[in-house]
Amino acid sequence: MKTIIANTNAVKKVGAREGKTIQIGNARLTWKAMGIDTAYGTSLYEMDLAPGVGIPVHSHPYAEVFYVISGYVDFLRYDEGDVEEWVRCGPGDTLIAGANALHAFHNRTKNPARFLSASVYYHEVALEKYGTSVDVGDPGPANGLPSEVEANQYLEVLKDAMNVHMYFPQQNARNGLEVFHDIENRNKEAELSWHRSLMALLI
């Protein structure tokens, strides 16, 4: 009869402010489950999304599942006519971005939001490549447009992302600031759309 040896690392608890935290642009995430914990099958991160912060339009050849814990996050998708559509998700809502689906997310409210994101290990590899390790207690960067140098560095990241099978349409921008202006304009247009919809309901 074979004896099974107990391994306390096989069942692991990760506390509320525990896990490896990285910064990518203005966005900050904390890994709750990494490939090394899941036999390199699944990775899970928690993201605190400050007002005005988000990730631009992109795609990758694997699905990603988002679950909103608190606040509201607006997710971008495209309908059958290739028209942009924003979907607002609140606490308890789940959004699934299928493999190769163009998507983006932004916090366009005045309050912070938090969500979980689950995907395959390759997503972790991509984010780790471009993220910078930070302490979870460190203050986040100020919102707003970055300097021209910082914006151009971000554009280089988007161009290099093809090496890990991620696609960002903005990689063809003339300079980095153009990328951030594009994000800003998308958000303004989406905000106007929300106001129009709200007014239509009130009339």
Q: Give the C-alpha separation, 39 to 56, whole Å.
A: 30
Enter the DSSP assignment of 11. Answer: S
Q: What is the dihedral of CA 126, 162, 59, 169, to 10 degrees?
A: 130
- Token pair of 114 as six digits: 């938090």
pLDDT at 195: 60
Burial class, 142, CB count within 10 angstroms (exposed 0-12 / middle 13-18 / buried 19+): exposed
Q: Mean pLDDT by 10-residue block, N- to C-terminus, for the chain (203 residues)? A: 62 92 88 95 95 90 97 93 92 97 93 97 93 84 73 86 89 88 74 64 65
Q: Give the C-alpha separation, 32 to 45, whole Å.
A: 5
**70 within 8 A of 48, measured Cβ to Cβ:** no
**141 within 8 A of 52, measured Cβ to Cβ:** no
pLDDT at 139: 75
pLDDT at 95: 98
Q: Give the C-alpha separation, 47 to 154, whole Å.
A: 19
What's the CATH number for 19-202? 2.60.120.10
pLDDT at 69: 98
Residue recorded with tokens 């300079």: 175
- Token pair of 30 as six digits: 């904390």
Sign of torsion, CA 168 172 176 179?
A: negative
